[in-house]
Structure 1
Amino acid sequence: MAEHKHGEMDITTQEKTFEGFVKTVAWSAVIIIVFLVLLAMING
């Protein structure tokens, strides 16, 4: 088994995936909040 050396792995793919995940979660939260506000306004 190879010896582990901290900081040598290329993590650009993981960083892009995480960035996309965070953006998706943020936009989903905004859409859900807007939907709930509109639903509350409609049902008064």
Structure 2
Amino acid sequence: MAPANDMKAANATYEGFINMIKYSTPVIIAIVAFVILIIQ
């Protein structure tokens, strides 16, 4: 097993990644929809 400090860092990195995905996905979808509307 990894030491406790490594697990804390890993959990913090994972939570940061999940939050980034959670908030960036709707923004990316909105940008794509906007570009599609402009192209049509």
Verify same fold: TM over 0.5: yes
Q: Which has the higher helix share?
A: 2
What range describes the TM-score normalised by the shorter chain of this pair?
0.5 to 0.7
- Aligned residues: CA RMSD: 1.9
The runs of 5 or more residues in structure 2 that have no matched partner are: none
Identity of aligned residues (%): 21
4+ long deviations beyond 3 Å: none
Q: Distance in 1 between matches of 2:22 and 2:37?
A: 23
The runs of 5 or more residues in structure 1 that have no matched partner are: 1-5
Q: Give the 3-state SS of the residue equivalent to 1:20 in structure 2.
A: helix
Please report the TM-score for the alignment, with normalisation by the length of structure 1. Answer: 0.58
Please report the TM-score for the alignment, with normalisation by the length of structure 2. Answer: 0.60
Report which of the two structures shows the higher radius of gyration computed on alpha carbons.
1
Give the number of equivalent residue pairs.
Answer: 38
